[in-house]
Structure 1
Amino acid sequence: MSRRQLVPGVEVVAVPGRGLAVRTADGEFLAVRTADARGDALLARLAGAATAPGDEELGRVVRAFEEAGYLADGPRQPAWPAARRNIRLLGAPVITGPLAAHLTALGADPHTAPAATAPGTPPVETADLLDGDPAAVVWCADGPVPGGLWDAADRLPEHGVAWLRCHREGWQAYVEPLAAAPGDVTSADVRARRLAATPAHRELAAYWRGPRTSGAPVRLTVPAAALLAALLADDLSRWATGAPDEAGLPARRRLRSVDLRTLTVTEHPVLPVPDVAPMPGKDG
């Protein structure tokens, strides 16, 4: 039977002249009041080693660590459930390629397919996306998303299929929250919230609708594509294994923007648009 030890990211350090301190998973330092407990015995116990029974003061300090959530039964990587292994990846190969590699390493079974986005192509239907019985569908667009492109995919959660997506607008990329159940944030919700949040809503709507005139195209660098793939893979892994949210905004209520020049990630809260609220028109 494994002994409880410090959780990953939590460490204890001996501070000269001040005793022990805990560095939390968030990077904060907290003083440890050990009273009569021996410091070396406490450090050994926190590392998972057996200690002599009957030391009440040591037991008190260890219980305090447990109550604070700093001890666990040992590092365990939750297995990817078989029922959620089938992941369908659509869109830009520059992102879906590294994403597939991440998912395979995590225990999923990703399948990549091109996305029909050319002008004149029949719109994608929900039934098309459900073909092959995927547990989740991920769509990565290396450019702005035309209105209506993701409408069918927004209905995937109604069929018990998780829906995750990202797209690029110039040097900014957006990783939208994973939607896994009715009532989660869809791409239509994100578009409506973004239009409502900017005074340039008419310009943004026109940008999405196109056409757009540009010079040399923005090309995703290998590090930028790897970052987007890593963010998507982490979201999928947490959904599949039921891992809890870490510090910050809840994963299903979080829009992340990525500056592709500096690889800076910024989180924004986003909520579903209530059914009673009218959705903004395409022209804002």
Structure 2
Amino acid sequence: MATVRLTPGVVLVTVPDRGLAVRTPDGTFLQVNTGTVDEAALLAHLTDGGPASPELAGLARAFEEAGYTTRTPAPAPLGGRTVVVLGDAGLTGPLTRCVRDAGATVRHDLPDTPDARTAVVWCLDRPAPEGIWDRADTLPAHGAAWLRCHREGAHAWLEPLACAPGDVTSADVRLRRLAATPAHRELAAYWAGSATPDEGPPHTEASAALTAALLTGDLLAWAAGAPPAVRRRLRRIDLRDLTVTEHPVLPVPDVAPLDTRR
């Protein structure tokens, strides 16, 4: 029989002169009436797998029925998933640690035939060169998840997670950003490399850790079903003060080719 343990997020609190209380994952405190059961024995049973008397077993069963204990180990949130991490080492290092800690298998090469349990994350500590992500933009059409970020000067851009046909790709983000600025010619030239080298400020350990955490959060959302809000969210980190701003973004619909006869 599996050992009973507290459900993740549930905490038992010993309150002076009031006995035990349960802190639920949402932060609510509930007082526990232990009756004739010794509080120390209950704590030992629920935290260390200590023995249970018949009276204690009944109280422990009530905890289990309420969902405050479980007999199965908590699954790793990215268990059974493969995350391909590509890009610059200052960002891929912390991201690799985060996704491995969440249970994912990490690779550093783009697979020929990605599947629905594979995510590709590409991180650049510099502007994204023209065309670098064209092939990866096709990943969602095959069911794989696609996530990317890059830096432009003092700003890091985290683009929306794409995991299904019709989701926002890097090409969509570029078109939307060009449409949103009067300096679209200048921005297009900047992306095309017609500029002096973009030397900084580069990512710091703090901004890289923040970027890795936000990307990992998107991967956890993907593993849990990826709601539309995650797949329509463009984020920008100001590397000078670590301020994060969000902007909604939609895919660009296909249009008929322009009739050159007119």
The TM-score with structure 2 as length reference comes to 0.67
Code of the residue aligned with 2:188 in structure 1: it is R
Q: Deviations over 1:186-233 (max 9, x none)?
A: 33555567678xxxx324745642436899631112332243234435
SS in structure 1 of the partner of residue 54 of structure 2: coil
- Asked whether the 8 Å contact 1:190–1:270 carries over to 2, the reply is no
How does 1:163-202 map onto structure 2 within 5 Å? 163-190=146-173, 201-202=180-181
Q: Deviations over 1:63-99 (max 9, x none)?
A: 4531xxx323354453743xx547251x333323444
Structure 2, unmatched stretches of 5+, are 257-262
* Structure 2 residue aligned with 1:71: 69
* Structure 2 residue aligned with 1:228: 211
How does 1:21-100 map onto structure 2 within 5 Å? 21-26=21-26, 28-34=27-33, 36=35, 38=37, 40=39, 41-47=41-47, 48-54=49-55, 58=59, 61-63=62-64, 65-66=66-67, 70-78=68-76, 80-81=79-80, 84-85=81-82, 87=84, 89=86, 91-100=87-96
Whole-angstrom distance in 2 between the partners of 1:166 and 1:202 = 20
- Asked whether the 8 Å contact 1:103–1:110 carries over to 2, the reply is no
Match of 2:113 among 125, 130, 133: 133
How does 1:211-222 map onto structure 2 within 5 Å? 211=190, 217-222=200-205
SS in structure 1 of the partner of residue 211 of structure 2: helix
SS in structure 2 of the partner of residue 223 of structure 1: helix
Code of the residue aligned with 1:93 in structure 2: it is A
Q: Does 1:209 align with 2:207?
A: no
Alpha carbons of structure 1 residues 64 and 263: separation in structure 2 relative to 1, 3 Å: farther
- The count of corresponding residues between Structure 1 and Structure 2 is 245
Q: Deviations over 1:238-260 (max 9, x none)?
A: 64xx4578xx9965455444342
Whole-angstrom distance in 2 between the partners of 1:45 and 1:95 = 43
Cα deviation for residue 61 of structure 1 reads 4.1
- Asked whether the 8 Å contact 2:8–2:74 carries over to 1, the reply is no
Code of the residue aligned with 2:69 in structure 1: it is L
Alpha carbons of structure 1 residues 101 and 17: separation in structure 2 relative to 1, 3 Å: closer
Code of the residue aligned with 2:3 in structure 1: it is R
* Structure 1 residue aligned with 2:260: none
Structure 1, unmatched stretches of 5+, are 113-128, 279-284
Q: Deviations over 1:13-68 (max 9, x none)?
A: 12223443333445x241324273646154344324442225687257414531xx
Code of the residue aligned with 1:110 in structure 2: it is R
* Structure 2 residue aligned with 1:121: none
Cα deviation for residue 164 of structure 1 reads 1.1
* Structure 2 residue aligned with 1:108: 105
The TM-score with structure 1 as length reference comes to 0.63
The root-mean-square deviation of aligned C-alpha atoms, in Å, is 4.3
How does 1:3-22 map onto structure 2 within 5 Å? 3-22=3-22
Identity of aligned residues (%): 44
* Structure 2 residue aligned with 1:157: 140
Whole-angstrom distance in 2 between the partners of 1:10 and 1:194 = 44
Q: Deviations over 1:162-182 (max 9, x none)?
A: 211012233332333332222
Alpha carbons of structure 1 residues 275 and 215: separation in structure 2 relative to 1, 3 Å: closer
- Asked whether the 8 Å contact 1:42–1:62 carries over to 2, the reply is no
